[in-house]
Amino acid sequence: MKHTLFAFAGALATLAVTSAHAEQSIVIGHALSPTSHYGLGADAFIAKLEELSGGEFTGTQAPAGQLGGERDMIEGLQIGSLDVVITSTGPLGNFVPQVYALDLPFLFRDYDHARKVLDGEIGQELLDEISKNNHVALAWSENGFRHVTNSQRAVRTPEDLAGLKLRTMENKVHMAAFEGMGAAPTPMAFPELFSALQQGVVDGQENPVTVITASKFWEVQKYVSLTGHVYSPAAVLASPVLLDGLTEEQRGWFAEAAKASAAATRAEVNRLEEAGVALLRENGMEVITDIDKAPFAALAEEASYSVYTDQYGGEMIERIKAVE
């Protein structure tokens, strides 16, 4: 089925062109709804690309995991069956392990710190590393700080996590962190998550407010604890199969479109940090804010940092912490 979807996407993606001046339609895949922060980012990408190219390039979204989970879509870029993907970094570490540094729990102090890291020298180094692995990394985008939701009980301490089956991304760092904090992490592709929560396959999950609201998890979850345990970036990636066939000017259009996408996504993350929590309450979720993060951080760091440092050492972590 996955190969059928990719074949369909590839057909859409290659409706284009033998001439540099003919109109070419690209497909942007992502895992969330078309009205989510990813959807707004995809719209901004398409609008900027159409503007800069004078209509030479147009685009459409393939939202809500229509073309598979994020790992599937990242693989699709490598073979050219997708043109552009907006993805969390969760599954990206399976392809580029250096990116796991960004997924370490309680590493980033706040949004200002995270954005300075990603917009600076460290962020560019990691984009370059991704681009060495059969992807074209265009820009860092954003999901936000991740929080825990569940259907069983309010989570205020690590003890409250004990035994909870929590869906995590397919990410070794996240899984180790939640094991350390006492939960039972269950990796699962995002398109499977809502039904898994609905059917009780898992008790809860962890995601930023942006994703919790876009997915209407209040329909299947009662409690949200604002743990802010991991800052979750996103990446705007393109297929080398597409970009290698473009001129330098055309590749520049894609780079500028990615910057516009990231700016639109970050603006929506900013908006939802306040409005989203109110929306969760309006829809019946109990929002737990009185959380001492220190015990969570101590357990998560002890359990998960070695996943990264055993292979790459601690230099990158210290460089990230040092950014002011």
Share the mean pLDDT of the chain: 94
pTM: 0.90
Q: What whole-number distance in Å separates Cα of residue 201 and Cα of residue 166? A: 10
Q: Which of 171, 87, 100, 90 is nearest to 137 (CA)?
A: 87
The beta strands (E) that lie in the chain are given as: 24-29, 57-62, 84-88, 136-150, 165-168, 184-187, 204-208, 223-225, 231-238, 286-288
Ordered mean pLDDT values, 10 residues apiece, the chain (324 residues) = 52 44 89 96 98 98 96 96 96 93 97 98 97 96 98 98 96 96 96 97 97 97 98 98 97 98 97 94 97 98 96 96 97
Q: Which CATH architecture has domain 2-322?
A: 3-Layer(aba) Sandwich (3.40)
- Domain coordinates in residue numbering, the chain: 2-322
Q: What is the pLDDT of residue 243?
A: 97
Query: 20 in helix, strand or coil?
Result: coil
pLDDT of residue 10: 56
What is the C-alpha separation between 166 and 181, in angstroms, rounded?
Answer: 11
pLDDT score, position 274: 85
Burial category of 164 from C-beta neighbours within 10 Å (exposed 0-12, middle 13-18, buried 19 and up):
buried
219 C-beta neighbours (distance < 10 Å), count: 11
User: Could you give the count of Cα atoms lying within 13 Å of 123 in the half-sphere of its Cβ?
Assistant: 18
Residue for token pair 């760092």: 173
pLDDT of residue 107: 98
Query: Are 134 and 238 contacting, i.e. CB atoms less than 8 angstroms apart?
Result: no
Report the SS3 class of residue 260: helix
Rounded to an integer, what distance in angstroms lies between the CA atom of residue 220 and that of residue 212?
A: 11
What does the pLDDT look like over 98-118, one tens digit per residue?
999 999 999 999 999 999 999
Q: 111-119 and 121-131 helices cross at what angle (nearest 10)?
A: 60
Q: What is the pLDDT of residue 312?
A: 93
DSSP 100: G
pLDDT tens digits for range 15-70: 443 344 578 999 999 999 999 999 999 999 999 999 999 999 999 999 999 999 99
